[in-house]
Structure 1
Amino acid sequence: MKSCVNQFACTTSGKYTDLSLIYSECSGPGGLRLTEFMAEKMQVRPGARLLDIGIERGYQTCFLAKEYGVLVTGIDPDDDRSDGIPHIEHLQRNAHAWGVEDRIMGLKLGVPDTRFAGSTFDFVHSTTTLEMVRGFFGVEYYRKCLAEIFRVLRPGGIFGLGEPMHRDIPIPADLLPTYTKGGGAGPEGWADCFATVAETVDLCRGAGFDVLEADHAPDAWDWWNEFIDNDPHCKADPQGEAKIIRQDGGRWLSYGYVIAQKPRE
């Protein structure tokens, strides 16, 4: 596996400077910088068929369609935590605003029950999504999701996975009571949600993928700081999740990625 050791130059996402808007439309750290990082690692190309799993409001999906010219199917089974509107309806709104309606289709679906034909997509992209599957439903369900992703990719297709991960160390003592307190998407459930890069690589290989590259993103902690400064929920409750992330300081918490390929036949 190759590792990325230098900070990534975000030449495309850097055009989009309204971080409050970006983080109100995206989930988790990284925003459009994360999406560009993943797209470059995946080497996505114009006209390719890309499945985007866990789109939130679809802002990053629209970025992929506009800046990389891919034909995107975005799936998400959930409704928005702020307004209760289905995420795919937010995707439709954003696709219109970005002028990419002709390149995007949104479906209220989730893995592993996508119902797509096998070998449908050239690329599968998923960020800040599957770790929640692990946390809520367990690692076996996570494996089923990876198996479904493998199935719908064409031979030679590329899977780009980005998610909050943790460093390969024990949880620091001052954070242990919080991170192991209970389930859910917040810090109290992160011990169950987040894995190491090595653990995630093993799961991808177990699903049949060849892992091309995997590591902690070089700008991971910058992304987390950007998140707590701009995410509307963090700004509304600075003594909640934002405080815990600052307390962690990157000792345990990180953001990892895996670039994997379905073997050619």
Structure 2
Amino acid sequence: MTNPLIKTEFPLSAKYDPDWMLDNQMGPNAVWLMEWLAEGLALRPGLRVLDLGCGRAMTSIFMAREFGVQVWAADLWISPDFNRVRADAAGVGALVYPLRAEAHALPFPESFFDVIVSVDAYQYFGTDVLYLGYLTRFLKPGGQIGMVVPGLTQGFSEVPEHLAQPQSNGKVFWEDECWSFKTSDWWREHWSLNRGVTDLLVDTLPDGWLHWHDFERAVEASGKALFPSDAEALAVDRGAYIGFVRAVARRTDWMAENLYSPDVGVRCGVDG
């Protein structure tokens, strides 16, 4: 019987122990999503990468093992000590630097990172129109920023019935925090407003709903679920509304030259 966590769409992820993915999951399979995101990034040995909202550091470990990058694995809720143990066990303790950090108070020098990534976390803080400008301050000019988030394949003003009604397990898919789910068009416009980034790519994961559904079923069957499964709602939706959005861009010199000074802060075109 084929293991549902081994997918041809994610050949690098297929090398990883399915039980390791299940033991460390905190939502949709972050290793699959990181592999998809990495396709749009120029990762190579020696680069400094910030993994923002890394959870249990699966994405950090994946990047260190597959690309030889140095990863600062930042999360607010998961202990750095626990992530250190996981990185050491995976053989990349010398490349992964776990720390506790809040997304609006990052403890790094400006222009420190070559790449900044966020998987299944950016929607919680990145819908703020000011946030991308803040985050890219920590990115070198020319460096890349990329994120993957749960999103919408089409927008709506009223929640579709199958997402608002309880599933057979009693779980309702659509909770208030789901209003942070946006379409690819929304993210494209949102990031396009920032002159500090260029070379913008925004798209959706083919069959994203199916990958999410399959992972939900695998977690449910393993008995390792942290929350009741959303697989039933995803099976009804079949990608009509729910999927994953990827955004990748490159930092320009515009912010450093025109917008920000450590002495005066953000000018926003207003003198005085």
TM-score, normalisation: structure 1 = 0.80
The residue number in structure 2 matching 1:259 is 248
> Of 75, 88, 97, which aligns to 2:89?
97
Partner SS, residue 94 of structure 2: helix
- Alignment-derived partner of residue 145 in structure 2: 159
For 2:259, the equivalent position in structure 1 comes to none
Instruction: Note the alpha carbon deviations across 1:152-210, whole angstroms, 9 max, x for none.
Output: 0000000111000101242563236459xxxxx96312541201111112222223321
Structure 2 Cα separation of the partners of residues 119 and 215 of structure 1: 27
Cα distance between partner residues in 2 of 1:114 and 1:130: 14
Which letter does structure 1 place at the counterpart of 2:73? G
Aligned partner of residue 163 in structure 1, secondary structure:
strand
- RMSD value, Cα: 2.8
Identity rate, percent: 25
TM-superposed deviation, 1:229: 1.5
Gaps of 5+ in 1: 1-6, 80-85, 180-184
**Equivalent position amino acid for 1:15 in 2:** K
The answer to whether the Cα contact below 8 Å between 1:8 and 1:37 also exists between their aligned partners in 2 is no
Which consecutive residues of structure 2, in runs of 5 or more, have no partner in the other structure?
A: 1-6, 167-171, 255-272
Measured in 1, the distance between the counterparts of 2:183 and 2:204 equals 9
Aligned to 1:194: 181
* CA pair 232-116 structure 1, distance change in 2 beyond 3 A: farther
Structure 2 counterpart of 1:146: 132
Q: In 2, are the aligned partners of 1:23 and 1:31 still within 8 Å (CA)?
A: no
What amino acid is aligned across from residue 16 of structure 1 in structure 2?
Y
Question: In the alignment, what sits opposite 1:182?
Answer: none
Q: Structure 1 pair 95/210, CA: closer, same or farther in 2 (3 Å)?
A: same
Counterpart Cα distance in 2 of 1:101 and 1:36: 20
TM-score normalised over the length of structure 2: 0.78
The 5-angstrom pairing of residues 1-265 of structure 1 reads 9-18=9-18, 20-79=19-78, 86=79, 88-133=80-125, 139=127, 142-170=128-156, 173-175=160-162, 177-178=164-165, 187-207=174-194, 208-231=196-219, 236=225, 240-264=229-253
> Equivalents in 2 of 1:53, 1:39: separation in Å?
15
How many Å separate the matches in 1 of 2:35 and 2:104? 26
Equivalent residue pairs, number: 240
Q: Distance in 2 between matches of 1:186 and 1:197?
A: 20
Q: Say which SS state the counterpart of residue 187 (structure 1) adopts.
A: coil
Contact persistence 1:65–1:104 (CA under 8 A): yes
In structure 2, the residue corresponding to 1:23 is in which secondary structure? Answer: helix
- Per-residue CA distance 1:96-121 (angstroms, 9 max, x = gap): 11111111111100212103111110
